[in-house]
Amino acid sequence: MTENTPDRARTRFPGISSRAYEHPADRSALVALRSLSGFDVVLRKLSGLINERALRLMFLGGTVRVGEDQFRNLHDMVRDACYILDLPEVPDVFVKQDPTPNAMALGSDHPFIVINTGLIDLLDDEELRFVVGHEVGHILSGHAVYQTMMQILLQLGSRLAWLPLGNIGIAAIIIGLREWFRKAELSADRAGLLAGQDLDAAKRTEMKLAGGTRLTEMSSEAFLQQAREYDAAGDVRDGLLKFLNLLPQSHPFAVIRFAEIDRWAREGEYERILAGDYPRRDDDDNASVSEEIRNAAKSYRESWERTADPFVGKVRDMADAAAGAAGGLFDRFTRRDNGPTDRSN
């Protein structure tokens, strides 16, 4: 890959592992999947059920492919993001005429990015750079592949809905998958910040996704306060309603994403990565599943301790007890197995 000189100096992260920026809940799921012997073979078989070639041809025929002569500015941003995050293959990018401000990463063998015109019209260059880095982060983490596989599994599982309690079981799976997807979005936001290295632009993006282009009518301090008020909820009933509102969402709400990227930047991990202190992908095979699961449990526990949501407060003790029991079972299982489940042992 040839280096594309950005408009200002940005730190590059040679060999960076996606574990550097992944949310602990997202990272623990991915490390567990990657550690399974033969999983990549199964994954390719499953992802092959969706014709990636046909999907790519659809976008090639109905959208605009970004390149040297089309959306050159966006083309440069993608190359910058791939250089900074050390993604070996620069993905194709397609611009789709759609007023909905959205972008996505698709595919398995050669993932590609689709960006709606509504998002391009909404954002300035630095905000768009954050979004491009977000999508490159999805690809580096393998989210496009795993999400494709999960969608296939959901489709297969729906055929079992006629069985007794089938709908309840499938609903539980969907809830779990959406929770993972939401954490994957927080991971990709961190990748977007690493690629653009402009925290204000990242925050503006979340504000615009919530309130549109009129930034002069908005305040980052007030928006963060709004996030705190949303977290505090009011009473247990409000907390339950928030929980139910979130269940069908594929993305966290904008105020949550704003508060999360602000917190991640303030707590020092972002600065450590900028200083060169980050895990390398050469060590991904040695990542410990049990350690990542403990990190995920710790992350949830810390988020529960931070929150002022009274509903969360009511279920905190119960969840801590369940997590402790699950961790003990997992540790006993890994000690018996002593195989690929935890490669650090």
**Assigned domain for 1 exists:** no
pLDDT at 23: 86
pLDDT at 169: 56
pLDDT at 72: 97
> How far apart are alpha carbons 38 and 139 in whole angstroms?
21
**Assigned domain for 343 exists:** no
pLDDT at 49: 53
**Assigned domain for 68 exists:** yes
pLDDT by 10-residue block (mean), the chain, 345 residues: 55 95 76 56 55 83 97 97 96 97 87 96 97 96 71 58 54 66 91 97 97 95 93 76 79 93 94 96 76 60 55 50 48 49 42
pLDDT at 1: 41
> How far apart are alpha carbons 257 and 259 in whole angstroms?
6
pLDDT at 326: 46
**Assigned domain for 8 exists:** no
Give per-residue pLDDT as tens, 243-260: 788 877 878 999 999 999
- Domain encompassing residue 80: 18-337
> How far apart are alpha carbons 264 and 343 in whole angstroms?
28
Q: Are strands 103-106 and 93-96 parallel, antiparallel or unpaired?
A: unpaired
Q: How many domains does the chain have?
A: 1
Give per-residue pLDDT as tens, 46-76: 555 556 777 889 999 999 999 999 999 999 9
Q: Are 233 and 242 in contact (CB under 8 A)?
A: yes
Q: Are 197 and 274 in contact (CB under 8 A)?
A: yes
**Assigned domain for 167 exists:** yes
What are the E-state strand segments in 120-201?
none
Task: Write the CB contacts of 259 (distance below 8 Å, at least 6 apart in sequence).
Answer: 224, 227, 228, 231
**Assigned domain for 13 exists:** no
Give per-residue pLDDT as tens, 138-186: 999 888 766 666 655 556 555 555 555 555 555 565 666 677 778 889 9
Q: Dig out the tokens for 203 from the structure.
A: 């925050």
* Phi, psi values for residue 33, rounded to 5°: -65, -45
> How far apart are alpha carbons 204 and 219 in whole angstroms?
9
Sign of CA dihedral 199, 201, 205, 206: positive
Q: Does the predicted model carry a pTM greater than 0.95?
A: no
Q: Dig out the tokens for 187 from the structure.
A: 């991971």
